[in-house]
Amino acid sequence: MRDWMSRTSHLLMGLLPLFGILAIWQLINPVNSPYFPAPDAWWHSLVKQFQAGQLLAMIGNTLRVFAISIFASSLIGIIVGIVIGLNPRIAKALSPLLEFLRNLPPPVLVPIAILLMGYSKSLQVLVVTSATVWPIIIATANAVKLTHPLLRDVALTLHLSRFRTIRDIVYPSALPAILMGIKVAIPIAIVVTLLIEMITLMPGIGSLIVRAQREFRSAEVYGLLILVGMLGFMLNHGYKIIERSIMQHWPPSASDDFK
Amino acid sequence: MVFGSGEDPHVILQNINLDVKTHEFLTIVGGSGVGKTSLLRMLGGLTPASSGTLTFRGHSVNAPPHGVVVVFQDYVHALLQWRTVLGNVTLSLESKLSGHELRDRAMQALQMVGLENSANKFPWQLSGGMQQRVQIARALAQQPSVLLMDEPFGALDAMTKAVLQDELLRIHSTTDTTFVFITHDIEEAVYLGDRVAILDGPPGHIKHIVQVPIARPRNQIQTRQEQAFLRIRHELHDAIFSNTNAQP
Amino acid sequence: MNMFQRYINGINISGVVVLGCMLGLWETSMHVGWLDLDYLPLPSNIAMAFWTLCMSGEMFTNTIHTLRSVLIGWGVATVIGLSCGLAVGLSSTLRRFSWATIEVLRPLPGIAFLPVAIMLFNFSIETELAIIIYPTVWPILVAAMTGVSVVHARLFDVSKTLRLSRYKTIFSVILPAITPALMTGCRVGFSIALIMAVIAEMLGNPMGLGHAIINAQLSMQSENMFAYVLMIGVLGIMLNASLMATVQSLPFSKSATMQSAKPAQSNSNRLSKGPSHA
């Protein structure tokens, strides 16, 4: 009980600046300032939107694109990463291409896709996947390349087939690094998903914010900003929980090896 | 099995002429850097010999031969830390067996090293000695004809070493596995072996092979006090240190 | 091996060949008719468009705009991130009263602020800079903060023994020690800055490479669009490379990378080769 109380108070102390700013904003707010509406106005606008029935569906759209893309890019990234990691010659041959693509800012892919594919449902997933696959490929390939030589010897001396060596030794030993790569991909996925919605106005949170901004509904803009913040926080935090549960079998310091 | 060989480009091993007899316990002693690990890796088919012939049961060795398993010194990295103890032991068997048969074979191997109660723990939850036993169990589960061990007890404390040495001897006497055991510890070499080969170098070469006529079963206290033990230990010590620069 | 030979050996021949083959395949398959997407241009046309844009000066103006925004935004973010990160890292009181706020604000995607910035600053350079600075601050701040917490306690003892002033402590002891972590944070911040600049230019400030790309897309000028994409890619690579080069040349970077400020390795599971003789 005491532990819970001290943890909560620790949390509240840490949030002090945030609450402080919000409180001050609320108090000194000149009535109906168009640029800086008070926090309670944000809340009200969100509630209104929710009651109008739109909000949940929009959130659902954004989250759906995000989830499918992360799943696809993880799958592709891991497979390609393993192939590259195990074949130094392929890695070398592909490296200029990979270097260019991994350094390319993800937003750049959006107009390319729009021009080539037009506005279609699959556009979103395709673009977000192509934007997020690179950090996963790189993290996987590096970890596979660095598989401990002793593990390779173990695979040989125990006469494991190539397939089993990859599935039971190479892949699990690279898993901590792969999870870190996916952790990097998540914020990219969020940003690119929102970007597409903002540019194409395809239904989602991004399109909601842009419409609100164009129609000068400032309280709504701030409210949706907070909403995005909360979603971002929950997605990142949720992933940390997933990561921790997968890694519970690993020795406590395993994830430090792959900084 | 028989071989003679050399290695390139820096010559690591030279003029090795060694014939390992079936079911013997052969220990190989040498200081650091003489090429013991390289020799073992060659025997295990992990590193190819650049010249000469290496045969196992009449076939030449180009890749890890079936029936030969290596046990490494670095148990932390040789074990799959993300699998349970049982999972580690079943690793090599999963392609051939499944279900009850798989589990039974694995538990049998764990019983041979006394770890049947730790089957569901993870290696990183165990002590060094126990982890090394898991590696041994994993090797034994394959029912190998030859077990090649690369300074397996080098990183363990004296008491654990003694316990594991006796365990190895017990396994040797109850199965017909041939052991090739590498160590830098002369006493360990004599205590365990039927024959002791001295590896000197670089480049590594077999300087001397000594028979150990001490009867089995052996005992940590008594055997180490026997005349024959002390004599052979002396002999090995002189042989190793006859070039005054050689330091273990 | 002299410099020239080493350079030749360093060229990734297979990489270049693969790249060349892919471009060649792209070009020929379009000529032959295998590849026929509306608006997918020929590599040769892209090259021509690139050349034309360079000649007209547009490539230059746009690139300079983006480059300036990135550098200014990143610079400001570094100053903010470093100072706040150091402050929070060094003062446990400050840390207690701000850690949760940092954890909450950090994952907020910078792009969500864009409509707010547009509302406040309109479509202008201020909007662009604001969008660049916010997300770039965090990796630098966190790197400084955690870097300080990992600095070996002994270093603090050393500075106390030598009675170093606060100023000296920070500059001669702390900064060099946290440089490796800081450099990583700055590198990450840099790529974030470029990403945000492009985003801001696409939606919030109609200047620079981001805007040029969107413009080309809207007017269906695909060769120009790809030319600009190429420029951004090259810009990204060059910026990264020059950042690495600057880092290497810093006076204290060598000594900093030698003392890897990793926390002490844990427990008996760490086994390096060799018997454990005390």
**For chain C, what is the domain count?**
1
Low-confidence ranges of chain B (pLDDT < 50): 1, 244, 246-247
Sheet holding B195-200, edge to edge: B68-71, B146-150, B178-183, B25-29, B195-200, B205-211
Give the confidence band of A74 by pLDDT, cuts at 50, 70, 90.
Answer: very high
Q: Which domains does chain B have, with CATH numbers?
A: 2-67+146-241 (3.40.50.300), 80-143 (no CATH)
Q: Which domains does chain A have, with CATH numbers?
A: 56-248 (1.10.3720.10)
Residue from the list A13, A115, A224 with its beta carbon closest to the beta carbon of C97: A13
Residues C264, C258, C182, C210: what is their CA dihedral angle, to the nearest 10 degrees? -130
For A198-233, write each residue's pLDDT tens digit.
999 999 999 999 999 998 888 889 889 999 999 999
Q: Which residues in chain A (218-247) have CB-CB distances under 8 A to chain C? A: 218, 221-222, 224-225, 228-229, 232-233, 235-236
Using CB atoms, which chains have 3+ pairs under 8 A with B?
A, C
Backbone angles phi, psi at B143, to 5 degrees: 50, 60
Is C45 part of any domain?
yes
Whether the pTM exceeds 0.90: the reply is: no
Asked if A116 and C119 come within 8 Å (Cβ–Cβ), the reply is no
Is C120 part of any domain?
yes
Is C228 part of any domain?
yes
pLDDT of residue A6: 84
How far apart are alpha carbons B220 and A253 in whole angstroms? 38
Amino acid, res. B11: V
Q: Which residues in chain A (29-88) have CB-CB distances under 8 A to chain C? A: 35
Is C143 part of any domain?
yes
For A17-45, write each residue's pLDDT tens digit.
888 888 888 887 766 667 778 788 888 88
Question: Which residue range is the domain that position C102 belongs to?
Answer: 41-152+178-252
Q: What is the ipTM of this complex?
A: 0.87
Helix intervals (H) in C151-271: 153-161, 166-168, 175-203, 208-218, 222-249, 253-258
What CATH number has the domain bearing residue C207? 1.10.3720.10
How far from A3 is each of A12, A244, C93, C100, CA to CA, in Å? 14, 22, 20, 18
pLDDT of residue A32: 62
Q: Please count the residue pairs, one from chain A and one from chain B, whose beta carbons lie less than 8 angstroms apart.
A: 61
Burial class (CB in 10 A: 0-12, 13-18, 19+), A244: exposed
pLDDT of residue B10: 67
Amino acid, res. B25: F
Low-confidence ranges of chain C (pLDDT < 70): 1-3, 5-10, 35-36, 152-154, 164, 166-170, 250-278
pLDDT of residue C152: 61
For A106-147, write each residue's pLDDT tens digit.
999 999 998 888 888 788 999 999 999 999 999 999 999 999
Report the residue of chain C nearest B185, measured CA to CA.
Answer: C275
- Structure-token pair, residue C251: 């006076």
Percent of chain A with pLDDT over 90: 56
Is C12 part of any domain?
no
Is C275 part of any domain?
no
- The answer to whether A11 contacts chain C (CB < 8 Å) is yes
What are all long-range contacts of C61-68, with beta carbons under 8 Å and residues at least 24 apart?
Answer: C62/C207, C62/C208, C62/C209, C62/C211, C62/C212, C62/C228, C62/C231, C63/C209, C63/C231, C63/C235, C65/C201, C65/C207, C65/C208, C65/C209, C66/C194, C66/C197, C66/C198, C66/C201, C66/C208, C66/C209, C66/C210, C66/C232, C66/C235, C67/C235
